[in-house]
Chain A
């Protein structure tokens, strides 16, 4: 190889190294905030690279705004300023565990928040619990996070997959029919959504004419769409998220499916819809928060209005549901520290359990004691291809609101699967 030529053996060797790099992911070059010794450090363990990078950015922005608001009020525990240490878990559950341990043991972060992927949320939750560190899963939806794999030290802000499917399932049946075809991401999140819709089917008689599990990071959805066309369902349910959602919806349009049958699902993200060409922006979806609408933020919610205005001013776009997750998570975490006057996970958990609060959404919410799931409403919306003349980003028509108590499993049911192992 010294003459600069590549022989077969050396190419295979380097290709193998390259494969390993591509499979395990490249580390992101990320800014970490500098911190002083007398500050409280909050660890942000997110997917800053990979298919969920844009969501991680939105959650981080929301979290930083909440942190800045607390610092402007003097910090926590009588004057301690708050700073963040941000780590990229590369959308890899194993890497997330390593980053969680680094944040705790090296960076000395006594509390932690993240992430987008359910699989990452589950692994991070376990890693933090093993070291008795308080963790809020801001954006991983799988039921298990606050279900069979719940931890006393873990709380969750975004909705569970059960809430998402039960908020949307009945409306979708009523509006479009019972013959469904589902495209499902093949990991914890997708499986949990599939389970949720199967439960809805028990009461509504949904007939699943096709259920395809797609690997995360799928670029070509044409094989699935060909099968959808042949199955002639009443409704195509798209459960994939992130860049996979963008690829899938683009190809749904290219195959002319959008004109032939309705498309919908339990969850849509503004970041993904903004990345779609106008002609591919279709469907009827579950929405976890939106920056407009009386049923979402209320008529005179000063906190929400100030947050939305400040966010737009700072970042140039309106906040998304992910931004709201980040804001709520950081705000509640700092509130719990302030209330407990400690970063001890047990004390914080006791402070946060069942504590009602008002926030960016109408009506307020609370982290339920039985499973540590944030109980807050969901909304159902249809997508418009274009924004309004005054706001190009305003592309959802929110048509309905579903209250938390009606879409999440009852406390008695959750008690059967979620058992906290308190340290004392």
Chain B
């Protein structure tokens, strides 16, 4: 039982990853109806861009900031040219498009960086471990926990306390109405997509340092993120956070006692929650209410 406390802490960090990726997915999905299956590919792209910068001698911290921004530029270009024409169509169209994009992206990464994974480390200042009293914990994991917390809080503040955040929430409720009131909804869609990709980009660079970096690595976090959206409830920021943390802890603790079930525990959790509360934990009409 002595292992449980550190594992719950580990699970919270893993869950925060799922939550952040799920929030990015939710942002894009709730406003434009796009189920972005290429989300994991954008995470991978950010990881590779950071790797390329660090390999070229750039400071790791600069890469952490710059790689997600470059990924946003690519993401917005994709949104404007490929996804935008599908906004008023059935979501299956954008689902198929982003599915195809993820396949193409994977092959492009293979062509550029090779099939083999590439070495990407956190900076020396984040290597080693820190004593938490009940356990020694890797410094990089603690940094990730802090960074993810900052992202989530910043997003809440942005959506709840800024005019742009207000417009985004209003657009989810009724995009035609706010267009009639003079808001440029296309610009809003683009900014929203870019914000989702920015979050994915930061998570992608952090995940590359924590785990491995290869052409498929981003997709490993995509499926749990989808489950997080369902468990937490569509349209709820709080739900994404709670769902992610719940799944992360469930996976970590199950791994400790029943490793063979660690892969399916999130699906069992999803099934149970959907049976009890079909909308998910915090699901409601609208978004981020």
Chain A residues within 8 Å of B, Cβ to Cβ: 1-6, 8, 10-12, 14-15, 17-19, 21-22, 26, 28-29, 49-50, 53-54, 56-57, 186, 212-215, 217-220, 222-224, 226-227, 229-230, 243, 246-247, 250-251, 253-256, 271-272, 274-280
List A contacts of B110 (CB < 8 A): 53
Taking a contact as CB atoms closer than 8 A, the residue among A10, A220, A253 that contacts B91 in the complex is A10
Complex Cα distance A277/B121, Å? 6
Q: Are B211 and A254 interface neighbours, CB within 8 A? A: no
Cβ of A19: which chain B residues have Cβ within 8 Å of it? Answer: 223, 226
In the complex the two chains form, is B7's CB within 8 Å of A215's CB?
A: no
Q: How far, in angstroms, from A1 to B34 measured CA to CA in the complex? A: 11
The secondary structure that dominates the A interface is helix
Interface residues of chain B, those whose CB is within 8 Å of chain A, are 2-3, 6-7, 10, 14, 29-30, 32-33, 35, 37, 87-92, 95, 99, 102-104, 106-107, 110, 114-121, 127-129, 135-136, 138, 140-141, 210-217, 219-223, 226, 229-230, 234, 251-253, 255-256, 259-260, 262-263, 274, 278-279, 283
CB-defined contacts of B253 to chain A, threshold 8 Å: 223
Could you give 6 example pairs across A and B, Cβ below 8 Å?
Answer: A53-B115, A222-B141, A250-B211, A254-B138, A275-B212, A280-B121
Contacts of B283 in A (CB 8 A): 8
**Cβ contact within 8 Å between B6 and A226:** yes
| 3 residue pairs, one from A and one from B, having the closest CB atoms | A275-B117, A277-B121, A54-B116
Across the interface, do A275 and B91 meet the contact criterion of CB distance under 8 Å? no
Residues in chain B near residue A220, CB distance under 8 A: 10, 14, 211, 251-252, 255
B234 pairs with A8, CB closer than 8 A: yes
B234 and A11 within 8 A (CB): yes
Give the distance to chain A from B53, nearest Cβ to Cβ, in Å: 16
Q: Check A22–B29 contact: CB distance below 8 A.
A: no
Point out the residues of chain A lying under 8 angstroms from B116, CB to CB. 54, 57, 271, 274-275
Contacts of B102 in A (CB 8 A): 26
Nearest B-chain residue to A220, judged by Cβ: B14
A29: B residues at CB distance < 8 A: 103-104, 107
Contact present for A15 and B135 (CB under 8 Å): no
Give A50 Cβ to nearest chain B Cβ, in Å. 7
List chain A residues, Cβ under 8 A from B219: 22
User: A18-B35, A243-B217 provided; 17 other pairs, C-beta below 8 A?
Assistant: A3-B33, A3-B88, A4-B33, A6-B30, A14-B95, A22-B222, A53-B216, A186-B260, A215-B262, A220-B251, A222-B10, A223-B10, A226-B7, A229-B136, A243-B212, A254-B127, A277-B119
Q: Which residues of chain A come closer than 8 Å to B32, judged between CB atoms?
A: 4
Q: Cα distance A226–B10 when bound, in Å?
A: 10
For residue B222, which residues in chain A have a CB less than 8 angstroms away from its CB?
A: 22
A273, closest chain B residue (CB): B119
A165 to B243 alpha-carbon distance, docked (Å)? 42
Do A227 and B88 form a contact, CB below 8 Å, given A11-B230, A57-B115, A271-B116? Answer: no
Which of B119, B141, B253, B263 has the most chain A CB atoms closer than 10 A to its own CB?
Answer: B119
> Given the interface contacts A4-B91, A220-B14, does A247 sit within 8 Å of B211 by beta carbon?
yes
| Chain B residues whose CB sits within 8 angstroms of the CB of A53 once the complex forms | 110, 115, 214-216
Q: Do B138 and A11 touch (CB < 8 A)?
A: no
Min Cβ gap B13→A in Å is 9
Number of A-B residue pairs having CB atoms within 8 Å of each other in the complex: 174
Q: Which of A8, A17, A223, A275 contacts B3 (CB 8 A)?
A: A223
**B117 touching A243 by the CB < 8 A rule?**
yes
Pick from A14, A56, A219, A226: contact of B211, CB below 8 A: A219
Docked complex Cα distance between A178 and B87 (Å) = 63
Chain A residues with CB under 8 Å of B230's CB are 11-12, 15
A56: chain B residues within 8 A (beta carbon): 115
Q: Are A6's CB and B119's CB within 8 A?
A: no
Cα(A113)–Cα(B208), bound, Å:
34
Q: How far is the CA of A220 from the CA of B221 in the complex (A)?
A: 11
Contact of A1 with B91 in the complex, beta carbons under 8 Å:
yes
What is the distance, in angstroms, from B287's C-beta to the closest C-beta of chain A? 11
| Shortest beta-carbon distance from B281 to chain A in Å | 13
A11 surroundings in chain B (CB, below 8 A): 29, 35, 229-230, 234
Q: Which residues of A contact B117 (CB under 8 A)?
A: 54, 243, 246, 271-272, 275
> For B6, what are the chain A residues with a Cβ–Cβ distance below 8 Å?
226
The smallest C-beta distance from A220 to any residue of chain B, in angstroms, reads 6
Whose C-beta in chain A lies nearest to the C-beta of B6?
A226
Check if A223 sits within 8 Å of B35, measured CB to CB.
no
- Quote the shortest CB–CB distance from B14 to chain A (angstroms): 6
Output the least CB separation between A10 and chain B (Å). Answer: 7
**Which residue of chain B has the shortest Cβ distance to A278 in the bound complex?**
B119
Least CB distance, A19 to chain B, in whole angstroms: 7
Expressed in whole angstroms, the minimum distance between the Cβ of B115 and any Cβ of chain A is 4
Q: Which of B37, B89, B114, B127 has the most CB of A within 10 A?
A: B114
Least CB separation from B89: chain A residue? A4
In contact, B141 and A219 (Cβ under 8 angstroms): no
Task: Please give, as numbers and ranges, the residues of chain B lying within 8 Å of A254 by CB-CB distance.
Answer: 127, 129, 138, 140-141, 210
Contact among B128, B216, B255, B274 for A224, CB-based, below 8 A: B255
Q: How far is the CB of B269 from chain A (nearest CB, A)?
A: 14
Do the beta carbons of A276 and B35 come within 8 Å of each other? no
The distance in angstroms between the C-alpha atoms of A218 and B224, with both chains bound, is 13
Residues of the B chain whose Cβ atoms lie less than 8 Å from the Cβ of A49: 106, 216
In the bound complex, do residue B35 and residue A222 qualify as a contact, i.e. CB atoms below 8 Å apart?
no
- Residues from chain A with a CB closer than 8 A to the CB of B118 are 275
Residue of A nearest to B117 (CB): A275
Return B73 CB to nearest CB of chain A, in Å: 25
Residue of B nearest to A216 (CB): B263
